[in-house]
Chain A
Amino acid sequence: MNERNWRKSLLCWLVLSPLILTTLFPFAVMISTALKPAADVLAYPPRWLPSRFDWGNFVAMWKAANFGVALLNSLIVSLGSTALAILVSVPAAYALARHSFVGRGFYRQFLLFTQMLSPILLVIGLFRLAASIPWGNGTLVNTRIGLIVPYAAFQIAFAVWMLSSYFATIPRDLEEAAWLEGCGKVRAVLRVFLPLALPAMAVTAIFTFINGWNEFAVALTMLRSPSKRTLTVQVVNLVAGRYSIEWNQVMAATLAATLPVAALFAWLQRYLVKGLALGAVK
């Protein structure tokens, strides 16, 4: 690369640096505190570097937050809700992208409406709903499925928007060509359309996964036993209403809860943008 490009790169990084520094700051705090022994955490004045690296915080936190179990729960709930949301959203998005029909406008309005209802407004009603549905030996309260279904429902609007605007960019002629070759309509969709729609589905799935992974209010209300709680709930439990907060463990927990998603992002970053490029607005 030539010198001009280097200068441009430097300029770009310079413009971005305030934001990037702010973005990295909390990670620096997490790492710094997570590695401090208890005595350092409340030392005054505080220092960035620990007096010694205390990796034991991760072990202590793993036990205290029941981390392994919570991690698994978060995974199950996020993956489950993602799968369900995608499953119902793909046909709906296809309908919106390919057909105009009476009720289309109403359906879109309805989706917007579901976005405006924050789960926190509905949390008591959701709980009552879950408590009224028998499941196994009890009800949907304190079950993972009791989280998966509402999470999926709240993701539908965004998933359908993204998918349908992406689907609209897939040329219709391809399917029509398949019909001419004697493919049935359904088979044409499965054989020709779906493979092309996969990237969009992947991107949408990432969004729904992240939202499920990060949700707090509904999980707090629905889950009771430690064997069911998700990561977010467990980490907040280390902070809220405690007579003493062990910040080094809390930061170790946030860090450990964040890294998997951060890695996922680093890996998928370019696909995300590409997916949104085609999908976001139509």
Chain B
Amino acid sequence: MRILALPPEAPPMLRRLTSGLRRAALGAGALGVAAFAPQIARAATVHVTVAYYSAATGPYFKQMAAAFEKTHPGTTIKIDVVNWNNLQQVLQTDVSGGVPPDISIIGTRWLLSFVKDGIAEPLDSFMTPAFRNRFIPVFLKPGEIGGKVYGLPIAASARALFYNKTLLTKAGFPNGPKTWNDVIAAAKKIKAMGAYGFGLQGKEIETDVYWYYALWSYGGHLMGANGKVAFDSAAGVKALTLYKTMVDQGLTEPGVTNYTREDLQNLFKQGRLGMVITAPFLIGQIAKEAPKLAYGIVPVPTGTVQSTYAVTDSIVMFKASKVKKQAWQFLDFLFTKDNRVLFNKNEGFLPTTRAVAADPYFQDNKQLQVFVNLLPKAHFAPVIRGWENVAKAVIDAVQSVYLGKAQPAAALKTAATSADRALAQ
């Protein structure tokens, strides 16, 4: 089953706009003014928009909603599951139409726009010190803007390199590659065996990120101290030249601009790809779809330094919400230990709270530990307004280099110019 089952009765999502007040008014009329406050509480419906992570996402949140409603009579939780591709559009139109949900999952990289436009509600007034203390600080930080917390880390992942043990053992790297030179040496051998060496993503979301792995590994940075982009550096050129060389020597899959992250993961599951850098959720997919595959996980290869990309998704409350109290109660409920453990197990994300991290399932999980251990060296996407424009410029640049339409240095320069122009606006 892919998406949520049909709720028995689904009234228009915008019911809350009027229904709370209307029912309250009716109630007041019928029962007298004394009944006013309880009536509001009884009518509260919390609209929650969640991102589709996997087939398990919808059922999980439905289950949470049902459990919450049981202990909070009078509050109804309505869950809408939206695909990542549409999530931004859905929230944008909802807000511009004046009918946002009460809480929603968003990409943390969008958070700044939500805060600057006054759409997200600061959560500090709801948070007790004990609640704040539930989180692993490094994951709470990206949701903090101007000293206030706007987003809670609902999902977190970091990146590491998955390698096919059979192929890499034959290539002489039974424990996986450590440096880019190892990657190249192994890929050459794997190519001779008729498989693809290094999986290089060249299409759609996170095509830019795939190049940041190399950029950071050479000590490069995305943004400079002056608020302008800094990826057109020597490290940037080196990183892009590295990838381009691998493309030219046939050490990657052919036609890299035809491969999304999911396509690479599929190649890997089929045993046709030697190495791929991706998130921990591939572990779960392999267990389900290719249980016989022998593979290992090692840190992202180093150029001059060790690094990785860490990313969180945030759950935010909307300023326009009329049921903030109930919405907060639901958030509080979501971030209790057992609920979080279940979510992280389902989706293959890293623990964002201390209690979950201490759970034996995660403590004893060697594969996940590779990712967790990388966190101190992790880079997050910079919190700047209009970040999508920078990502877009980078994607255009790396794609034209992979396609042989531009040289690394020139392409990065063009991207930097256009990204800076977009950021200046």
Contact = CB atoms under 8 A, between A and B. Distances in A.
Interface of A: 42, 44, 60, 63-66, 69, 123-124, 127-128, 130-132, 134-139, 141-143, 220-221, 224-228, 237-238, 240-246, 249
Nearest to B98: A131
Contacts of B86: 220, 240-241
Interface stretch (B17-25, B113-121, B217-225, B415-423): B17-25
Contacts of B81: 226
Interface in B267-325: 269-270, 272, 281, 285, 289
B88 to A, nearest CB: 10
B396 interface: no
B12 interface: yes
Contact of A136 (B6, B12, B96): B12
B3 A141 contact: no
A245 B262 contact: yes
* Residue in B11, B93, B281 with the greatest tally of chain A CB atoms within 10 Å: B93
A138 B22 CA distance: 11
Pick the 3 closest A-B CB pairs, nearest first: A138-B14, A241-B85, A64-B2
Given A131-B97, A220-B86, A224-B80, A138 B2 contact: no
B13 interface: yes
B97 A127 contact: yes
Given A66-B3, A246-B2, A139 B80 contact: no
Nearest to B58: A226
Interface residues of B, number: 45
Given A226-B4, A227-B7, A138 B89 contact: no
Nearest to B90: A224
B414 interface: no
Contacts of A128: 96-98
A112 to B, nearest CB: 28
Contacts of B15: 136-138
8 contacts: A66-B6, A128-B97, A131-B99, A137-B12, A137-B19, A142-B14, A221-B89, A240-B86
B281 to A, nearest CB: 7
B130 interface: no
Nearest to A238: B2
Contacts of A141: 12-14, 97, 99
A124 B272 CA distance: 44
Given A139-B99, A141-B14, A242-B52, A42 B1 contact: no
A134 B85 CA distance: 29
Contacts of A69: 6
A221 B14 contact: no
A44 B2 CA distance: 25
B83 A127 contact: no
* Residue in A65, A240, A241 with the greatest tally of chain B CB atoms within 10 Å: A241
Contacts of B266: 42, 244
A125 to B, nearest CB: 10
A64 B3 contact: yes
B424 interface: no
B336 interface: no
